[in-house]
Structure 1
Amino acid sequence: MKEIPQPNTEILRELIGYRMPFGKYKNWLIIDLPVSYLEWFEREGLPPGKLGMMLSTMYEIRLNDLMFLIDGLKKIYPK
């Protein structure tokens, strides 16, 4: 039987406090960005490096209706 991969909680914990460094939504938390903005990045190209990985992760979370992962971690690791 194939094992179900578990989410990397370190990435998700970091995602909770990661802010958009530029653009229309500068200083917004990545987890609060509108889906349309995440879709735009996915279509037009993600920035390189960590920011791109964070945006891509958030896009996949929204796309697959996995916000419960973020909501659960926000309760465990409040700001």
Structure 2
Amino acid sequence: MHPDDLEKLVTWKMPFGKYKGRLLADLPGHYLNWFARTGFPPGEIGRLLALLQEMDHNGLKPLLNPLRNKQVNS
């Protein structure tokens, strides 16, 4: 994991697919699990989606809330 990956999860938007335009951190678990089953896309977006899926699977998505608040207050 890169140091700024968590911040990217709350600022980057999904660039394609059913949830195009939605913040990565707001993607539903079933969609992340679908990627886990079928394969994550190549490159940085795939790495971030895999990280988010792991966080969601382990109940760690609430760790992103302070970063969300930071973005809102910036």
Same fold (TM over 0.5): yes
Unaligned runs of 5+ in 1: 1-6
CA shift, 1:64, in A, is: 0.7
Count of residue pairs the alignment pairs up:
73
The alpha-carbon distance between structure 1 residues 8 and 66, as it changes in their structure 2 partners (threshold 3 A), is: farther
- Alpha carbons of 1:77 and 1:31: their partners in 2 closer, same or farther (altered >3 Å)? same
RMSD: 1.7
Higher Rg = 1
Q: Which has the higher helix share?
A: 2
TM-score (normalised: structure 1): 0.81
In structure 2, the partner of 1:33 is: 27
2:61 equivalent to 1:72: no
Letter aligned with residue 66 of structure 1: L
Percent identity, aligned pairs only? 40
Unaligned runs of 5+ in 2: none
Superposition misfits of 4+ residues, deviation over 4 angstroms: none
Q: TM-score, normalised by structure 2?
A: 0.86
Please report how far the alpha carbon of residue 8 of structure 1 lies from its aligned counterpart in structure 2 after TM superposition.
5.2
Q: CA deviation at 1:9?
A: 4.6
